[in-house]
Amino acid sequence: MREGTGRPVFSGVAIGRAYVYRHQQAELPGSCGDAAAEQKKFDEARETARAQLTELFEKTKREIGEEQAMILDVQMMMLDDLDYLEGVQDMIAGGASAAQAAHETGDAFSAAFAAMDDAYMQARSVDVKDMATRLVNILCGGKTGFSMEEPGILVAEDLTPSETVQLPKDKILAFVTRQGSSNSHTAILARIMNIPSLVQAQITLDDELDGKMMIVDGFEGRYYIEPDEATQAAMEKKRDEAQAYRQQLEAYRGKPTVSKSGRKLKLFANIGNPDDVKYVLEGDAEGVGLLRSEFLYLGRDNFPTEEELFEAYRKVVEGLQGRPVVIRTLDIGADKQVDYFGLEHEENPALGYRGIRICLTREDIFRPQLRAIYRASAFGPVCIMFPMIISVDEVRRIKAFCETIKAELAAEGVAFGEVELGIMIETPAAAVLSRELAKEVQFFSVGTNDLTQYTLAIDRQNAKLDEFYDPHHPAVLALLRMIAENAHAEGIWCGICGELGADLSLTETFLEMGYDELSVSPGRVLELRKKVCESEV
């Protein structure tokens, strides 16, 4: 028996045969004397790649959701990157073949992205390499795709975005990759598919591994190859217990979320786009506590119109069948960049021009979004939440603008409903000023991810700082208590929409602090409800 470790990205136990996934390596032709002919080949390959990616985009959107499909849209935009195209053209003019130029220019650009300090730009390194590899395969007749004869565990060096969306998802029991991170495409897909998976695994990808029996323990972050009888029996028992636990959670479907002492809590879900509403209903969430509006702006080459935004919001509101939705206004910036916004490069984008700072200085962006949200409120209960607040003045400016929007719609005879206004508390400034801010709004929702990184002065995207990043830090917990107390002192409700909301070790702490609502991934709702119902707090 061989065993090793990796970073778990989704819990559970998977048992099956290993399938080693290897990238197809095309045979690269060297130099070529006819530059015009090679340039023509490259241009034709680009159009073929664009058609392939468009087809994959639609397939991914149908099967997984629009948010995940956007990774392919990014690659389609990269096919038109002028710097990349000029680099290829220069190499071909110098005598290189089209495939060689596409490959080497892609490698150079990928390395340049990987060397950047910004985590978002580093992540684009994989997209560039994936796009270039596709072009090379088209030019050289290389094969793409992967098949599995029976359900099993996929083991790979890493998986590119387009590879993950083409995989036979109905047969994959788990992922194990040597590279990747908790925010990689592989990790995101694993969480969507609810399968145990490991990234950054200490494993050797040799041919002998292919077909061998393998076990992945997503609880402990371990894998076993050709397990002995004792390990096999122990892991089968652990897997059966995990499945039985999930079945037990069904007993809490439809139940009120109330502790034994009578403390009532609302359990909402975080989503990224209208297609995710089905997961809200499947997870038995009581509403949506965070709709991330920025995903309606990603993967495009121009701003969505008011009508497009309205249709997306209306689809969510109607799909929730009377459940409330809290829509966060645009939070572009930091780790979410969009070229057509024309934002300048920043040395520290997490502390830069992002969130409400863009909206308050770009009425052309803010106005259509607010009009669309208010229009959607005519179809069901809607709240609006504003991100990255640091002052009372900002909130008053926002409220005044909302009144202007409402007056416009009323004058036009456009229907809209009653909309609660709230703010995200994710900066230490907002936490400290929470008593004053509570006088201006109707609710708070704490973004614990950013609140933690700003309080501890630690970049949460930097893996080197994982040992220092502590969301349970006494300073963070002290701010969380202060926020809830100040909200209630002014008679407004207060929730948590960050990752910490799903931390079962803190559920009773949040109950004791007095939080009214927790908004988490849809798949965590029943587990959290069980924890609350069993609590003595």
Taking alpha carbons only, the member of 421, 336, 429 closest to residue 388 is: 429
Helix (H) or strand (E) holding 455: helix 448-456
Query: What is the CB neighbour count within 10 angstroms for residue 127?
Result: 21
DSSP class of residue 264 equals B
Within 10 angstroms of residue 308's Cβ, the number of other Cβ atoms is 14
Distance CA 129, CA 111 (A): 9
Burial class for 45, CB neighbours closer than 10 Å (0-12, 13-18, 19+)? buried
Catalytically annotated residue among 103, 185, 359, 494:
185
Q: How far apart are CA 496 and CA 505, in angstroms?
A: 15
Picking from 218, 223, 205, the residue whose alpha carbon sits closest to that of residue 155 is: 205
- Give just the sign of the alpha carbon dihedral 98, 101, 104, 110: negative
* Whether the Cβ atoms of residue 26 and residue 89 lie closer than 8 Å to each other: no
CA distance 439 to 441: 6
103 in catalytic set: no
Structure tokens at 394: 């900002």
* Beta carbons of 335 and 119 less than 8 angstroms apart: yes
> Annotated catalytic, 185?
yes
Q: Amino acid identity of 306?
A: E
Any idea of the CA torsion for 307, 313, 315, 316, to the nearest 10 degrees? 170
The single residue of 140, 359, 383, 497 carrying the catalytic annotation is: 497
Active site residues: 185, 497
